[in-house]
Amino acid sequence: MQNKTYTDLLALVQALIGAGSLTTEEQTNILHLVNRRAHQAYQESQSWPRYLVAGEPRTVEPGQIIPYSEDSFYVFGAGSGEADGLYTLSADDFNSHVVYEKADGELLYFIRRETHGAHNTWHIVQADSATQSTANKYLYSDGQNGSAPDEAGWSVDDDGLSPAPRLSDLSPIGEFIRIHKTKPFLNNSSAEVNFYVDLNGANVMNANGLSSSHAYVTYKKQFLTFTISSQDIPEEWFHFMAHGVYADFLRVQDKQQEAMAEEQVALTYLTSELEKIDNRSNNNNIINRFSTYVNRQSR
- Which range of 10-19, 135-144, 176-185, 233-242 scores highest in mean pLDDT? It is 233-242
| Sequence ranges of the domains in the chain | 3-47+223-282, 52-68+170-222, 75-165
pLDDT of residue 12: 97
Position 45: which residue type? S
Closest CA to 150 of 163, 138, 162, 167: 167
Q: Which residues contact 23 (CB under 8 A, 6 or more apart)?
A: none
Closest CA to 132 of 114, 154, 144: 114
Taken in order 50, 52, 54, 56, the sign of the CA dihedral is: positive
Contact 266, 240 (CB under 8 A): yes
pLDDT of residue 284: 61
Query: Residue 294: pLDDT above 50?
Result: no
- 95-127: string of b/e by CB count within 10 Å (b at 16+)? eebbbbbbeeeeebbbbbbbebeeeebbbbbbb
Closest CA to 52 of 217, 239, 233, 295: 217
pLDDT of residue 290: 47
- Enumerate long-range contacts of 243-250, CB under 8 Å, 24 or more apart: 243/16, 243/269, 244/33, 244/37, 244/40, 245/13, 245/30, 245/33, 245/34, 245/37, 246/13, 246/16, 246/17, 248/33, 248/36, 248/37, 249/13, 249/17, 249/30, 249/33
Q: What is the pLDDT of residues 127-148, one digit of tens each?
A: 999 999 999 999 999 988 888 9
Please state the length of the chain: 299
pLDDT of residue 270: 98
Q: What is the pLDDT of residues 38-93, one digit of tens each?
A: 999 999 999 999 999 999 999 999 999 999 999 999 999 999 999 999 999 999 99
Four-CA torsion 59, 61, 66, 68, nearest 10 degrees = -90
Higher pLDDT among residues 25 and 280, named by residue = 25
